[in-house]
Structure 1
């Protein structure tokens, strides 16, 4: 959440907040505006977002006078998601943080309101207050409308726990993102679709408890790469002895040794994997020319994601469906939100000229890298193309399919809802260390992994 902008920084949004109604400051009498309440003598137009409405006597700012210090969505945010994953009815959470402990009884659907530009206030699903964080939350009853400006208002009737009112209504605005115009074409994985893991230079599994688990099939090819901890796998669809540390698998291991068709199946799967890799690779590569052009550039020298609770910023920690390209690498640190904007078939493609990865973090509930899905986004429709290798840092929560030209490493405790294909274009090993990898929608995968 960001702190409010000053009056001057809010001026560009003035017209979006002129609701065509009159409102006073804290006086009484007169007509009633549907959002700001009762007007009075000397009524004025709504002030810019984030500014206290001028008018009748507002108290001089003092340590005892409560104030709104931050909101989410933040003031002037042009990229707010229309809904929040996990909220009943696809509703959206609108929050305001106060400088002092507040009286919960004064924070309700009357004193905390939200309305589309020029429209009547929405009937919220709930309005609540968390005393520990000093955060008031308005939960909308349904997802917001795309590409629409909204105004949120905290009324002057809200008081601190000591009974001191905020003084005057406080307003801010944000705009929901537009729906993706055409979106990106689906990615055809062919015979590789049921597979959670692919490698062309063998698999290494570190014997850290709990043992690595794979929900889906594995393909290893060629025969020189059909090894687990440098030990040849079996010819019955498993990892074999694996030097005493085979991963747990809810599926089969396909290789030149299984099934008994001379490697025809594993070669066909590898061919489809390479075709899928090139289908999401930019025309200039690397490592070879692909067919997925028209990407939006991700600035070089930056990482993606932000600490939990940060305001969403398009192109940094918030993305809508589309194709995005980094001429260097892609490293995710903190939270990254992918918002399908209500389209469950929306496709996200991230192209890296070098590596793809996530920063190391603490075990939950400690801070760690997370990819968060909103607006109906599905891991099955998210693709990460690595021009070289990929590394998922300690305890990362990954979403989406990684197709890496070379190797993939999962550090201790990292998990992925999404296929991880190493060696999509060259020799590529796969390294495990107490991980979980799930094919989205697999019968044994977590129910949320789709």
Structure 2
């Protein structure tokens, strides 16, 4: 039998289905999308550095600022002609650092500012639809479009979590503590929900254990680590360090 908590979540899902399931033009049932500005031009953006334990695979650009290119470690960088960016066999895209030639430093300063503004705006949203849902242990739940808020840590068990909505729906998860995704757990999207409309706004450390899979945009106040075999469909926008351990990021 379903617990009272799961009954509430599934009821919310059913109401959402009745409201928009047959509509030709889907209407967003969650909060407004978080504006990323030029930070959206990067699969990974960090203020403190990005490291990789090869072989990682990143599709999209990587940027670090205000630090220099030596904060991009493990990539075996090749500086491009003109010196504005570098390339790596692990990256389908370009790598940028504040120490590279113009216009890169200014471009990165803007992107970092946009990232910090996005975090502040997302973290400042009020009137959540769900407050401290499941005391932060959300493994096995189906989540519908809404603003969610937790005042402590959030964990996703090996059961994973399902995010259900249309391509217009927005999900914002405000997490005051850490976010941990268990080994081999998966964030699964159904109903047409898009990773670009899912925002994990995390004040603490984000950790994806080996083999875990995350969907969405991580707006992190601190560090993000993707352990061996972890995968992500979305973006990592972190105000400190990003560590990849033979991980995959598709931006």
Give the TM-score taking structure 2 as reference length. Answer: 0.83
Kindly state the Cα deviation for residue 335 of structure 1 after the two structures are TM-superposed: 2.1
Once residues 37 and 9 of structure 2 are traced to their aligned partners in structure 1, the CA distance between those partners, rounded to angstroms, is 40
Aligned to 1:18: none
Aligned to 2:177: 354
Aligned counterpart for 2:238 among listed residues 398, 415, 422: 422
Aligned to 1:193: 40
Aligned to 1:159: none
Alignment of 1:167-186 (within 5 A): 182-186=29-33
Alignment of 1:230-379 (within 5 A): 235-236=79-80, 237-238=85-86, 248-261=90-103, 263-282=105-124, 292-295=125-128, 296-299=130-133, 301-306=135-140, 317-333=141-157, 334-340=159-165, 343-360=166-183, 368-379=184-195
**Which residues of structure 1 form unaligned runs of 5+?**
6-73, 83-143, 148-178, 240-245, 283-291, 307-316, 361-367, 440-450
Once residues 301 and 81 of structure 1 are traced to their aligned partners in structure 2, the CA distance between those partners, rounded to angstroms, is 20
Alignment of 1:16-415 (within 5 A): 78-79=10-11, 81=13, 146=18, 182-207=29-54, 211-224=55-68, 226-229=70-73, 235-236=79-80, 237-238=85-86, 248-261=90-103, 263-282=105-124, 292-295=125-128, 296-299=130-133, 301-306=135-140, 317-333=141-157, 334-340=159-165, 343-360=166-183, 368-415=184-231
SS, match of residue 400 in structure 1: strand
SS, match of residue 274 in structure 1: helix
CA contact (8 A) 2:97 2:104 kept: no
The alignment yields a C-alpha RMSD, in angstroms, of 2.9
> Could you list the runs of 4 or more consecutive aligned residues of structure 1 that deviate by over 3 angstroms after TM superposition?
74-78, 179-182, 230-235, 299-302
CA contact (8 A) 1:214 1:247 kept: no
Once residues 145 and 389 of structure 1 are traced to their aligned partners in structure 2, the CA distance between those partners, rounded to angstroms, is 34
Aligned to 1:36: none
The structure-2 alpha-carbon separation of the partners of 1:409 and 1:77, relative to structure 1 and needing over 3 Å to count, comes to closer
The structure-2 alpha-carbon separation of the partners of 1:235 and 1:324, relative to structure 1 and needing over 3 Å to count, comes to same
Give the TM-score taking structure 1 as reference length. Answer: 0.48
Once residues 216 and 195 of structure 2 are traced to their aligned partners in structure 1, the CA distance between those partners, rounded to angstroms, is 4
The structure with the largest alpha-carbon Rg is 1
Aligned to 1:436: 248
CA contact (8 A) 2:47 2:64 kept: yes
CA contact (8 A) 2:152 2:175 kept: yes
Once residues 76 and 294 of structure 1 are traced to their aligned partners in structure 2, the CA distance between those partners, rounded to angstroms, is 18
Kindly state the Cα deviation for residue 76 of structure 1 after the two structures are TM-superposed: 10
Q: Which structure carries more strand by proportion? A: 2
SS, match of residue 380 in structure 1: helix
Q: Which structure carries more helix by proportion? A: 2
